Amino acid sequence: MSETAKSFPRPSSLKVTPGTEAAQAAYPYYCQFQPGDDDRFWFYNSMHFPEPMHHFDMITAEAAYCALGAFNTRVHVLPTTKGIDHRIINGRVFIGGVPVTDPEEVQARAEEFQKRGFYYYENWEDLYAQWKDKMKALIAEAQAMPKPHLPDLEPMETTHTGKGIAANQELIDTYRRQLNGYYTMWHHHFEFLLLGYGAYMTFFDFCKTAFPEISDQAISRMVAGMEAEIFKPDEEVKRLARRAVELGVDQHFTPDMDIDTVLADLDKVGRDGKEWLAELETSRNPWFNVNVGDGFYHYHRSWNDDLSMPFAALPGYIEKIKAGTNIERPMDQLIKERDELVRDYRELLDTEEDKATYDQLIELAHRVFPYVEGHKFYCEHWYTNLFFNKIREFGALLVEHDFFEKEEDVFHLTHYELESAIIDLMLSWSSGSPPIGPSRWPAIVAERQKAIDAWAGETVPPALGEVPDVIDDPAIVMLWGITRDNLDMWLSDGESDPNEMRGFAACNGVVEGIARVIKSVKEIDKIQQGDILVCQVTNPTWSPLFQKISAAVSDIGGSMSHMAIVAREYGLPAVVGTGNASQKIKDGARIRVDGGKGTVTILEQPAEARELEDA
């Protein structure tokens, strides 16, 4: 029992920010806080949703939780946990687990799980091969969807083929199929994920018991796959850098280049330039379908949509290649190191029984890990990217018909509202009368943009409601790294050294430097060589940045977050899951990151922040 009477605020005590009531009310009714919610524990899902949610983007939360819960609760039938409930207030998504506590129910579910979940483990490779086919088919289907378009008159072909369906029907058909595809993608996403994490966690727990002081990093390094898709985009940038040098066109890539000019110039400089452009095309499909964020927001654009991220990395890589520095991932060596690590830890086990168990667990972890590492590229990046771009096309069509001003405004509508706007447009096209939307949506869009701006500056409590004595919901622990320990840490915030923050030690090393607090992806270009990246959630597709920074700190993430994996690859000191480093540390502060201990210390806040505090 917890003796400290401290707890987080109750959901009912949170007030909707004045002036944003209408925007709050426009989120679907099923994600508004309910009276009974005060008795439950909720935490702010800043790992996936670190910024206020545009109304359309809430589709990611509901699609993901529909799928996550379906697999936990009713497909694999996890014995001790069901799904995730989600609520939104002031643009922030709070989530709560649904643990199963009745021993009889746990027992009954355990029996089911051993028939269902175990079938997946038994047939992992076959099912995963099948998964990739399913995902690729889903991606192909999304790629084949027509661009939403309303011709003045139906093409003659409709008449000649006896098609019998007009363009306005195709509009809603595309929209609904695209929505279906997105929900389906999330089902695929969760088909394997919890089982994969579970197998990994089993090995993790064994190691922590056998070697109480083993670092999380050492365990991750033993499990890490070497060929994971997530390394590919950065590998492609390195390849392009190498090709630029080989083709003698590297002088075009400078830190202050204008990308369009560079592309146009390369097209003009003859065969070598054209050859490089062809190389760029092969890299772009599919590997530049990575978002600069985690793929949960419409504005996390892909490298393909905005080449500035991969291009920002090119000059640095080119310089290194020309200086003779090897920038390749030494595959053979990485694999050898991993195998040695696995062997050397095994040697330290006392009994033959422990060695046998260890062999079983590492083998299982290695079997499941390709999925855990690889799925994100197909789901959160490639598919999500296609999805938001298709919605953007609907935005452009609605702009064309004066529903609102900018294509991006479409994301201020919920997916229901967007469907209604499309039907409005369909009706108008069919009747020949003007649509109603143009008199309705501009004011709403403006109001919601104002709300998002207001919410963006707010400090969000990390959790709400009653603190449970133990958190043993495996889904919460695995996916969000939330444990009783870090709740206590969040609660005790302010009592210990106010300048020190703790998190997961993600990658070893001590670095002092200037903190660059990146609140959104758009601020990435603030980062200078040698800065320490401080952000809410770090993302593997930022990896080209890693050659620039000297350390990384994030609010959210466990030692298996992709960020941690990439940091280890680059040997960059990193602390993840600090809770609130990006709020406490001011941009430009001098900080120390100890990636071995998992601590971040503010050494000196920047001048203007100090003045504010003194005042």
Partner 1 sequence: MEAVAWFKDVGIADRPTVGGKGGSLGELTQAGIDVPAGFVVTVAAFEQFLEKLEAREPIRPLVEALDPQDIGAATKLSEQLRARVMGDEMPEQVKDALKAAHAQLCKDGQPVAVRSSATTEDADDASFAGLQDTFLWVLDAEDMIARTRECWSSLYSVESMTYRRKQGIPEDGVAMAVVVQRMVNSRSAGVMFTRSPTTGDKSVITIEGAWGLGSSVVSGEVTPDKWVLGKITGEISQRDISDKHARQVPAPEGGGIVEVENESDMRTAPCLTDDELLALREVGRRIERHYGKPQDIEWALDQDGKVLLLQSRPETVWAVKDAESTPVKKPEGKAYNHVMAIFGGKKP
Residues that bind partner 1 (CB under 8 A): 78-81, 106, 110, 113-114, 117-118, 121-122, 195, 198-199, 201-202, 205-206, 209-215, 217-218, 221, 341, 344-345, 348-351, 353-354, 356-357, 360-361, 363-364, 472, 474, 505, 508, 510, 594, 596-597
What backbone torsions phi and psi does residue 514 show, to the nearest 5 degrees?
Answer: -90, 130
The distance of closest approach from Cβ of residue 351 to partner 1 in the complex, given in angstroms and rounded to an integer, is 5
C-beta of 31 vs 478, nearer to partner 1: 478
Pairing of strands 532-537, 92-99: unpaired
- 318, amino acid identity: I
The distance of closest approach from Cβ of residue 472 to partner 1 in the complex, given in angstroms and rounded to an integer, is 7
> Which residues, in sequence order, are CB contacts of 133 under 8 Å at separation 6+?
none
C-beta of 133 vs 205, nearer to partner 1: 205
C-beta of 90 vs 215, nearer to partner 1: 215
Beta bridge partners, 533, equal 516, 552
The distance of closest approach from Cβ of residue 121 to partner 1 in the complex, given in angstroms and rounded to an integer, is 4
Q: Residue written as tokens 């390749």? A: 328
Residues in the chain: 615
Cβ-count burial of 54 within 10 angstroms (0-12 exposed, 13-18 middle, 19+ buried)? buried
C-beta of 106 vs 263, nearer to partner 1: 106
> Which residues, in sequence order, are CB contacts of 472 under 8 Å at separation 6+?
80, 99
Counts for the chain of helices (H) and strands (E), in that order = 21, 12
Task: Quickly count: other Cβ atoms within 10 Å of residue 485's Cβ.
Answer: 10
Query: Interior CA angle at 233 toward 252 and 548, to 5°?
Result: 65
Q: Dihedral, CA atoms, 314, 319, 324, 329, nearest 10 degrees? A: -30
The distance of closest approach from Cβ of residue 225 to partner 1 in the complex, given in angstroms and rounded to an integer, is 18
Q: Residue written as tokens 């987080």? A: 8
C-beta of 119 vs 416, nearer to partner 1: 119
The DSSP secondary structure of 271-333, one letter per residue, reads HHHHHHHHHHHHHHTTTT--BSS-S-STT--BTTT-THHHHHHHHHHHHHHHTT---S--HHH
216 in Cβ contact with 506 (< 8 Å): yes
C-beta of 213 vs 260, nearer to partner 1: 213
C-beta of 12 vs 360, nearer to partner 1: 360
The distance of closest approach from Cβ of residue 398 to partner 1 in the complex, given in angstroms and rounded to an integer, is 46
C-beta of 166 vs 201, nearer to partner 1: 201
In whole angstroms, what is the distance from residue 493 CA to residue 593 CA? 18
The distance of closest approach from Cβ of residue 83 to partner 1 in the complex, given in angstroms and rounded to an integer, is 14
C-beta of 363 vs 523, nearer to partner 1: 363
C-beta of 110 vs 446, nearer to partner 1: 110
Provide the sign of the torsion angle of the four alpha carbons 120, 123, 124, 126, taken in this order.
negative
535 in Cβ contact with 554 (< 8 Å): yes
Residue (of 164, 144, 146) closest to 154 by Cα position = 164
C-beta of 10 vs 367, nearer to partner 1: 367
H, E, C per residue of 331-392 = HHHHHHHHHHHHHHHHHHCCCHHHHHHHHHHHHHHHHHHHHHHHHHHHHHHHHHHHHHHHHH
The distance of closest approach from Cβ of residue 212 to partner 1 in the complex, given in angstroms and rounded to an integer, is 4
The DSSP secondary structure of 71-117, one letter per residue, reads IIIIIS--SSEEEEEEEEETTEEEEEEEE---HHHHHHHHHHHHHHH
The distance of closest approach from Cβ of residue 451 to partner 1 in the complex, given in angstroms and rounded to an integer, is 40
The distance of closest approach from Cβ of residue 80 to partner 1 in the complex, given in angstroms and rounded to an integer, is 4
The distance of closest approach from Cβ of residue 360 to partner 1 in the complex, given in angstroms and rounded to an integer, is 4
Residue 232 structure tokens: 């590919």
The distance of closest approach from Cβ of residue 348 to partner 1 in the complex, given in angstroms and rounded to an integer, is 4
205 in Cβ contact with 178 (< 8 Å): no
C-beta of 260 vs 352, nearer to partner 1: 352
Residue 314 structure tokens: 């090119």
The distance of closest approach from Cβ of residue 214 to partner 1 in the complex, given in angstroms and rounded to an integer, is 5
- 104, amino acid identity: E
The distance of closest approach from Cβ of residue 416 to partner 1 in the complex, given in angstroms and rounded to an integer, is 36
The distance of closest approach from Cβ of residue 431 to partner 1 in the complex, given in angstroms and rounded to an integer, is 56
Q: Residue written as tokens 């020190």? A: 500
C-beta of 205 vs 258, nearer to partner 1: 205
C-beta of 105 vs 400, nearer to partner 1: 105
C-beta of 136 vs 343, nearer to partner 1: 343
The distance of closest approach from Cβ of residue 185 to partner 1 in the complex, given in angstroms and rounded to an integer, is 25
Task: Quickly count: other Cβ atoms within 10 Å of residue 158's Cβ.
Answer: 15
Query: Interior CA angle at 52 toward 585 and 528, to 5°?
Result: 40
